[in-house]
Amino acid sequence: MARPVTALTRPGVVAAFLVTAAVLLHPAVRAEAWLPGRDAALATLALLITLALVARALTPPRRRATVLIALGAVLLVGAAGGDGLRGYRGVLDLVPGQSRTHFDETGPDGLSLGLRPLGFPLGLEDRRPDGAVTLVFPGEAAVLTTESAVSFGGLRFGHPRAESTGSVSRLRVSVSGGGVDQIAEVEPGRPVRAGDLTLTLEEYFPDFALDDQRQPYTRSREPRNPAALLAVQSPQGTFRVFVLQAMPGVHRVEPIDRSFALLGVEQEASVEIQVRREPMALGALLGGLLVLAGVVLTRRTS
């Protein structure tokens, strides 16, 4: 008696489903640009592939390898669907020393869906030169790198990426004259002493320019042409001093016989962290292991 084989279980049909899914997933194809329903198409292909594997597993003679692959595919697709229904994702922006209890949830199209609570406070302790950051959770701290993720409280955190905020965390200002040359580290909101002077940052321009009314503004948030307005308190009174990094040594205040120069800036950067909740991740892992076991068993019995 001939073995009944449905069209869905034919190797060529299954291969066509797999090739189509691979094409839609490949980043070079950019299917999302010309196929608005790419995600729906991928979900349909995954369901068809799973049905084909299940049908093949139920068709006599039943082989353990085929059953394992079919069961693993069912778990994988079910976990993906469960995460789509119950999971969510978003982004969290932090600067060193800051803590938050919410993150910005995003939809499949990347648009913001509003704030969603984390369920616990999360702080950013520091950012390292290699891009890694130290996250502070209740009762513990963990290092998050660009290549590994950190899980806590049912959420997964990953892909830290630094972005300029347009603000500055520190200015290096030289003060010369009066028989003493000094370098002052000026931070926002923190007056600093330089001899008999006190320097306070009033305003910072990362990319200084003048508009049509000759008023200062910044063209971008990047430090392409840094400048700053300082309040300098001295025994002779308080003076406002403008320093531009591109023009060092020309900012002189005659009443106090001092010159000021902006030597460098340390730009403030926030860290954007991806946040995901995937409650069915364990099911997906188990499904992948079953598929792998089925493939290994197939190779051994072939």
CA distance 194 to 172: 12
Give the predicted TM-score (pTM) of the model: 0.55
Percent of the chain whose predicted confidence (pLDDT) is above 90? 25
What does the block give as tokens for 124? 């950013």
Q: Which residue(s) pair with 112 in the sheet? A: 106
Degrees, nearest 5: CA angle 84-34-16: 70
What are the two backbone dihedrals, phi and then psi, of residue 52, each rounded to the nearest 5 degrees? -65, -40
Rounded to whole angstroms, the Cα distance separating 61 from 64 reads 10
Going by their DSSP bridges, the two strands 227-234 and 208-210 should be labelled as unpaired
Predicted pLDDT at 127 = 83
The whole-angstrom separation of Cα 199 and Cα 185 is: 9
Looking at the chain, the whole-number percentage of residues with pLDDT higher than 70 is 85
Cβ–Cβ under 8 Å, residues 246 and 125: no
Q: pLDDT-derived band of residue 262, with 50, 70 and 90 as boundaries?
A: very high
> Distances from the Cα of 148 to the Cαs of 40, 116, 151, 187, in angstroms?
29, 24, 10, 33
**Domain map (residue ranges) of the chain:** 7-86+281-301, 88-165+270-277, 166-267
Can you give the pLDDT at residue 3?
Answer: 46
- List of residues 6+ apart from 109 with CB closer than 8 A: none
User: 49-87, pLDDT tens digit by residue?
Assistant: 777 777 777 777 667 777 777 777 777 777 666 655 567
pLDDT of 45 higher than 70: yes
User: What would the pLDDT profile of 167-222 be if each residue is shown by its tens digit?
Assistant: 888 899 999 887 778 899 999 889 999 888 999 999 999 999 988 888 889 998 88
Q: Is 300 helix (H, G, I), strand (E, B) or coil?
A: helix
pLDDT reading at 88 higher than 60? yes
Section 86-102 average pLDDT: 86
- Tokens 């069912």 belong to which residue? 74
> Does residue 129 surpass a pLDDT of 60?
yes
Residue 246's Cβ-count burial label (10 Å; 0-12, 13-18, 19+) is exposed
